[in-house]
Amino acid sequence: MRVKSGVRTKRRHNKVLKLAKGYWQSRSSQFKKAAEAVLHAGQYAYAGRRIKRRDFRSLWIVRINAAVRPEGLSYSQFVSKLKAKNISLDRKILSQIATEYPNVFKKIVSEVK
């Protein structure tokens, strides 16, 4: 006797089609095209999470550089002097301090000089 797998297949198709909801044209309604689109979307999302970290790091560096320039230093000089003084603040925290608390940041820069 032949066993049909209709329920399982339907469940699997619905899972993929639910993920593809809102996709363009037949990618949201036809299983084969939806499955391919969902697969690629997952790859793009994975890569995008890595690119996001890269973009934020460069944003922090730009902010720190903009805050340090009026004090007569460049970003690279500032970071090397931070390391020489054993001040361990990461770029995210330094950029937050530079944008939200400029007076505190000036104290940090004067400590480094």
pLDDT tens digits for range 2-55:
888 889 999 999 999 999 999 999 999 999 999 999 999 999 999 999 999 999
Does residue 1 form part of some domain?
no
Residue 23, domain extent:
9-112
Does residue 102 form part of some domain?
yes
Whether residue 81 contacts residue 112, with contact meaning beta carbons closer than 8 Å, is answered with yes
What does the mean pLDDT of the chain come to?
A: 94
Q: Calculate what percentage of the chain has a pLDDT beyond 90.
A: 88
CA pair distance 60, 47, nearest whole angstrom = 20
Q: What pLDDT score was predicted for residue 5? A: 84
Q: Calculate what percentage of the chain has a pLDDT beyond 70.
A: 100
CA pair distance 49, 47, nearest whole angstrom = 5
What is the four-CA torsion angle of 28, 31, 33, 39, rounded to 10 degrees?
90
Q: How far is CA 109 from CA 28, 61, 77, 84, 106, in A?
A: 54, 15, 11, 13, 5
Does residue 20 form part of some domain?
yes
Give the chain's domain count.
Answer: 1
* pTM of the predicted model as reported, rounded to 2 decimal places: 0.75
Does residue 3 form part of some domain?
no
The mean pLDDT of 86-104, rounded to a whole number, is 94
The mean pLDDT of 64-76, rounded to a whole number, is 94
Whether residue 65 contacts residue 75, with contact meaning beta carbons closer than 8 Å, is answered with yes
Does residue 48 form part of some domain?
yes
The CATH number linked to 69 is: 1.10.1900.20
